[in-house]
Copies of this chain bind each other. A is one copy, B any other.
């Protein structure tokens, strides 16, 4: 794309968007026994960004979050929640940033201050289809305990999002959105531990989760692995809904 074409793209984009208002999306998933968040790498740089986008003039915040999530993952109707709005004056000078990336980029329409609304999504990473972006060359899951260098205040956004998630996990069995169809109790425990950032007692965890009465134990066990084969469980949607409604 030529710089002149890019200028035209920017012009049209920023005419359709709410000026200075973006939306950043924390897309959480549970992969390899760890809590991950979807990040994108700027082409040719060791600098990463959260997936985000602009809020369009004819689009509610929630719709914008759904669209951005769909654009980046191909997913629809997943758990999505607003958690904080970030508005420090110097948090995201996009014009300055893109000027450093490439001084030839057209800068007429770029904002120097962006207020960003933070949403987080809980997804099953097996169902995600990564997409491309004209500024980035790689999209991957990053371990929240070992994050790369991130643009602007995106590290703080992740920290705030995790804090919110942590506060919710006592009331919401978030596994429903993050685990595959069937899973073992030790797996679910690892998920909780990676969200809380600390170990929990095995026996007590099992008893507590089962007492919620939202899981069905399957006949099979997970065989093949070493040691004793653990039971497989599945969330029972009906019981799960009942539980959620009772809590709130």
A→B interface (CB under 8 Å) = 18-21, 55, 57-62, 64, 82, 84-89, 113, 115, 117
19 sample A-B contacts, Cβ–Cβ < 8 Å, listed by A number: A18-B113, A19-B19, A21-B21, A21-B115, A55-B87, A57-B113, A58-B89, A59-B89, A60-B87, A60-B88, A60-B89, A61-B85, A61-B86, A61-B88, A62-B87, A64-B87, A82-B84, A85-B117, A87-B117
Q: Which B residues touch A60, using CB under 8 A?
A: 87-89
- CB-CB under 8 A for A115 and B20, given A82-B84, A82-B85, A84-B82: no
Q: Which B residues touch A87, using CB under 8 A?
A: 55, 60-62, 64, 117
Please state if A18 and B85 are interface contacts (CB–CB under 8 Å). Answer: no
Chain B nearest CB, measured from A229 CB (Å)? 41
Instruction: Please report the C-alpha to C-alpha distance between residue A21 and residue B57 in the assembled complex, in whole angstroms.
Output: 13
Please state if A115 and B84 are interface contacts (CB–CB under 8 Å). Answer: no
Q: Which B residues touch A113, using CB under 8 A?
A: 18, 57
Please state if A115 and B61 are interface contacts (CB–CB under 8 Å). Answer: yes
10 tightest A-B CB contacts, nearest first: A61-B87, A85-B85, A60-B88, A19-B19, A60-B89, A85-B117, A60-B87, A18-B20, A21-B115, A58-B89
Chain B nearest CB, measured from A243 CB (Å)? 18
Instruction: Please report the C-alpha to C-alpha distance between residue A92 and residue B218 in the assembled complex, in whole angstroms.
Output: 51
Instruction: Please report the C-alpha to C-alpha distance between residue A115 and residue B57 in the assembled complex, in whole angstroms.
Output: 11
